[in-house]
Each structure stands twice: as C-alpha cells, then as structure tokens.
Amino acid sequence: MLKSTFCLLLGLIISLLMAFQEPVTSRHSQQSTTRPNILWILSEDISTDLACYGMPIVQTPVLDQLARDGIRYTNAFTTAPVCSPSRSALITGMYQTSIGAHNHRSHRDDDYHLPKPVKPITNYLRDAGYYTVNVKTAVPGVATPTKTDFNFIPDQAVFDGTDWNQRKPGQPFFAQVTIDETHRGKAWSTVVKQHEPHIDPRRVVMPPFYPDHPVARADWATYLESIQLMDSYVGKILERLQQEGIADNTLVIFIGDNGRCHVRDKQFLYDGGIHIPLIMRWPGQLKAHQVNTVMVSAIDISATILNVAGLTPPAYMEGQVLLGPTARKRDFIVAARDRMDETVDRMRCIRDRQYKYIKNYMPERPYMQPNEYKETQYPMWNLLKELNREGKLTSAQAKFVAPVKPAEELYDIIKDPYELDNQAGLPNYRKTLRIMQARLEKWIVKTGDKGQWPEEKIWLPKTSN
C-alpha cells in the first residue's frame, strides 16, 4: 500500500513538473519564431557618399558601424532619379513605369488609383498583423516628415499610425522613417546652422564634371555636411531601439530614395542620380561584416520586407527577394526618367556591373532644359551656364551644357566611373551596345512601360521639390 502510494505521488510530481515545463518550452519556441520588427530609414537625395563607401572627408560613424554589423550593398540602384516616382515604386515593389507613376508629381488631383491587383506593401503587412507606421518624430529633437509623395491615390490609408509605440503590446511593427536633412532646400537650413564637424570646402574632392569653383565647392561641402547631420540622427534612432530593448529583434534597413541633389545627378540617369546606399542589420540573422556586390534594384527591398515578415511576395511584384533561400540575383538593373515637374523628357537606362546604356528618346532637348527647381535651388546649375558662356569649362564639364543630347550613351563603368566617354558609336563596343539595346526593348515590352505614351494632363509645380 505504501509502495503504491509512493508511486502514485511520484507520478503526480512528474506530471506536475512536465506541466510546469511545457509553457516554458512553448514560450522559448514562440520567442525564436517571433516575427521581427522592420525599421526602414529613408534618407532623401543621397548617393553612396558615406565614409564606409569610400567618400573622403565625410564622417559617418553611425552608418559605418551599421555596415560593419550587417550587410553593405555596393550595387544598389533606385528605379527613378527623383522622389515621387521612386517612392511610388518602393511602396509597391513595382517599377513606376509599370503602374503609371513615372511622371514626377503626377496624379495629385485626378483620382488615379493603382492598377489591379497592385497594392502598397503595407496592406499585406497589415493583413499579416503588423502595425504600419510613417514616423513623425522618431526621437525628441529629430522631426522626421511623414512624407509619402506617391503618384497615385491609395484605396485606403497606407499607414496605421505615426509611431510604433502606438501598436498593441507584442505586435510587430513596420516603420518608415524619412530623414530630409539631406534634401536640398528648406531642410538644408538646419545643415547651415550645424557647425560641427565642419567640412572645409577647399578640401572636398569634386567630380570632374563639376567646376573647381568656390560656389561649387561650398555647395558640395554643404551636401556632405547634411550627410553627417543625417548620420547623427540615425544614431539617435538606433539608440531608441536599444533603450526599448527591441534592437535585437528589429531588421534595420538604411537606403536613399534617389541619388544626390546635384546638377548632373538627381533627375538624371548617371550613377550620381540612381546609385544609392543600402545597408541592412538584423542581429542574429544576418552575418556581420558583409559586403555584397550583387545588382540590386530598390524595389527588391519591398519584396524582401514582405519575405522577412513571413509573407510570400505576390506573383505580380517586380521586386525580388534579397535574403534567404528564395533570394534571386539580377544581371542588370533598369532605371527611368520621365517628366520632372514642368520639364518633359524621357530617358531609360540599363546598368550591369560593367556597362551603362542610356537611351534618350528626346535627344533634341538639352540636359539643361528650363526647370524652375534646378534654376532656383542649385547654385551650380546657373554657374555652369555662366562659365560655359565665358569659355571656362573643361571638356568633361561642357558635355552637360550642350544644346542637344546623344540619342544613345554607353559607358564602361569600370574604365570610366564618371560616365564621360560615350562609347555608343565605337566599333569595339558594337556587340555590347546591341546586347544592352535588346535588354531594354525586352524590358519595355515585358513590363508594359507606360512612358511610351504622353500624359493627358501635366501637373505644374508651385513650389520646389
């Protein structure tokens, strides 16, 4: 009887212990499969002008460390060299030319909606339980504009709130943070007041297509200082993640929306207008100290975000997953420039690791067509015109002020990283030219490039962009 009672008690104790341990095991399992938060930091109007990308003088310790902690992509490119078509592409994972969002600042008052079945990626994230945020004030003292700038009217609110602290307890979040200190215009007033660390204009290294002139040097130095200020803001945002104890379960993506805000860069398809930084950090999931050289289109970030959230990107999506077993590699990227504010033009480019092909569909129009934004916001725009009249430009600088454009441009990026020596008419590059031409034509047909047809209505700007 005693033995029987002892066995019964022992069995009860074992059962209780197992019952007690079961929730612990489940909790650990739940933690290991908890969906990550996703923080997407968009810095406006920058190219790869960070210290970790090799830019002299500029100091970007926060982003340099972020790159060391994760992956730095060296061949990431936006699909458009200006914000509204670029952001329309980013939020949908689609080329802006595929969804009718390719003309800058278009469809603001004509009730244009995305073609079915295209949706903003936040719709899919919301349906999967994510709280979607367009952050208004990431940290005290760092106001981040809730800019969307889409060239379409969304069917429903794109974001749920303005801060991830508005979500339900335990709910994963997707947060977009825009930093506009790098955007030329009003935002640069903050930069002008920022004295440390100051960049001496006499020490900056100017691209050869810009004049070695005090106005040009001062303008370039201000741009680099805006990057330094932006870097400090990123540091404060990342510090918030640490303070809230969520850094280890947050994928951080840092990217530019389009290229740098200088004369030959933003609004144009040279690398200065489309080559952007891309850095990702995900503790415990992404190996540190990685430098990735694969060709990346900015819309691939959209597909990757859905994948990280545990979703399969929809079949129609043109972006491709970058991480994990379903990752795909591109042989080349495509970028497109269409109307910029009141300036009508059409350009397309194909870019692989070695060659860049640009097709100018309106070669009779100069690069420097009248454009209020460029003329009023870019000191070098008018400086180039003045120096050209005085015959003081080098051959490299004079190319951009020519009265017409070549119909085709082909550059060997490895030999000619500044894209100054057009090889399109040379016999040695004939085969390469044909390959790039064929790639572009195939892409136009496959994606249904809507830039082939003129707009019914042109939106005219009242303010700078």
Q: Which tokens is 35 given? A: 């969906």
Is 211 part of a structural domain of the chain?
yes
Residue 208: per-residue pLDDT:
97
Which of the 8 DSSP states describes residue 115? P
Structural domain includes residue 91: yes
Amino acid at 271: D
pLDDT at residue 185, as a whole number: 82
Position 266 in a domain: yes
DSSP state of 391: T
The pLDDT value recorded for residue 463 is 52
Whether 220 contacts 380, CB under 8 Å = no
Q: pLDDT tens digit string along 417-436? A: 999 999 999 999 999 999 99
pLDDT tens string 324-379: 999 999 999 999 999 999 999 999 999 999 999 999 999 999 999 999 999 999 99
Does 6 fall in a domain? no
For the stretch 405-414, pLDDT in tens is 999 999 999 9
**462 in a structural domain:** no
- Quote the CA–CA distance of 393 and 368 in Å, as a whole number: 15
Peptide bond into 117 cis (omega under 30): yes
Q: Is the pTM of this model over 0.75?
A: yes
Please report the sign of the dihedral spanned by the C-alpha atoms of residue 242, residue 245, residue 248, residue 250: negative
Task: Answer yes or no: is 195 within a domain.
Answer: yes
Q: What angle do CA 432, 436, 441 make, to 5 degrees?
A: 150
Domain that holds residue 437: 35-452
Which pLDDT value is given to residue 195? Answer: 60
Residue 24 falls inside a structural domain? no
Q: What is the CATH number of the domain that holds 275?
A: 3.40.720.10
Gap between the Cα atoms of 355 and 332, Å rounded: 9
Q: How many domains does the chain divide into?
A: 1
Which tens digits make up the pLDDT trace of 274-294? 999 999 999 999 999 999 999
Strands 173-179 and 131-134: parallel
Q: How confident is the model at residue 23 (pLDDT cuts 50, 70, 90)?
A: very low
Q: Looking at the domain assignment, is residue 458 inside a domain?
A: no
